[in-house]
Structure 1
Amino acid sequence: MPLIPAEALPYLENHIYLPMLMTILERDRQLVEKVPFKLKSPYLNLLEDAMNSVTTDLQKTAVYLRQHKMKVIRQSSDELFTEYLFVHDGYEDYRRYLNVRLRNRTEELLNQYLRKLESQNFLAP
């Protein structure tokens, strides 16, 4: 029997990926502010909306983890892997994630958030 319930794993992984995504969005926002676009506001608005959506999901994740007495602790990192400790009801589960997988999954999430915003904000002619 696994120590971590299957329904909790997405929340634990969100606690890894969503802060990474926030860091990327914040850096991109800073870059867009510095680049000489003629119309910056649409790009900045898109990034701000994505950041707000990620923040909302991160808050939901934090509430879930707190209610179920779970924690995610980053343990160690090297060139290939990053190790995380998942704690649930006193049980510890160490998991290693390939750094390339972390990057690729974060990129997938970024695409999902941007597509979600695009579909919500799209104005029909």
Structure 2
Amino acid sequence: MTRIPTGDRDIIEQAIYLPMLLTVLNRDLIVVNTSSFKLKKPYLELIEETMKAIQKDLAEVKRYLHKNNIKVERLKSDDAFTMYMFVYKGYEEEHNYFNPRLRNRTEELLRYYLFERYKNTHLEKKA
């Protein structure tokens, strides 16, 4: 059983997923740059602005982890699972994450950062 409260666990998981998102987007930048798109600039701007938003959120996560003396470390990975160690208030916990779940959650977050985060600001402007 984990000693980590749900709120802190969510932040710890952001420390796992947000760097994955940045890796995916960095690869996408390379693909767009080397592609034969006629108009690359809008795609590049979308990816770059998305990366800035993720980097901003990741900085907040890192500040929170540092302030609360929480550490996250990737230990090992195989075809099915990736193991992380969380150090929380002096206690070490190892957690296995199913790789397809990591991929699916990363995809969900990518969808959020690319599209859904704009829905709320679009609705606020109409009101």
- TM-score, normalized by length of structure 2? 0.90
For 1:27, the equivalent position in structure 2 comes to: 27
Deviations 1:70-112 (A, max 9, x none): 0001111111000000101110111100000000000000000
> Does 2:51 correspond to 1:55?
no
Q: How far off is 1:2 after superposition?
A: 3.9
Looking at structure 1, the residues matched to 31 and 118 of structure 2 have their Cα atoms a distance apart, in angstroms, of 21
Quick check: 2:2–2:93 contact (8 Å CA) kept in 1? no
Quick check: 1:76–1:84 contact (8 Å CA) kept in 2? yes
Which consecutive unaligned segments of at least 5 residues does structure 1 have? Answer: none
Looking at structure 2, the residues matched to 22 and 45 of structure 1 have their Cα atoms a distance apart, in angstroms, of 15
Task: Say which SS state the counterpart of residue 57 (structure 1) adopts.
Answer: helix
Looking at structure 2, the residues matched to 116 and 63 of structure 1 have their Cα atoms a distance apart, in angstroms, of 25
Looking at structure 1, the residues matched to 47 and 100 of structure 2 have their Cα atoms a distance apart, in angstroms, of 24
Quick check: 1:32–1:40 contact (8 Å CA) kept in 2? yes
For 2:45, the equivalent position in structure 1 comes to: 45
Task: Say which SS state the counterpart of residue 35 (structure 1) adopts.
Answer: coil
Q: Percent identity between the aligned chains?
A: 46
For 1:66, the equivalent position in structure 2 comes to: 66
Task: Say which SS state the counterpart of residue 112 (structure 1) adopts.
Answer: helix
Q: How far off is 1:48 after superposition?
A: 0.4
> Does 2:7 correspond to 1:7?
yes
Which consecutive unaligned segments of at least 5 residues does structure 2 have? Answer: none
Quick check: 1:83–1:96 contact (8 Å CA) kept in 2? yes
Looking at structure 2, the residues matched to 28 and 100 of structure 1 have their Cα atoms a distance apart, in angstroms, of 20
How many pairs align? 124
Look up the equivalent residue of 1:47 and give its one-letter code. I
Alpha-carbon RMSD: 1.9
Q: How far off is 1:117 after superposition?
A: 5.4
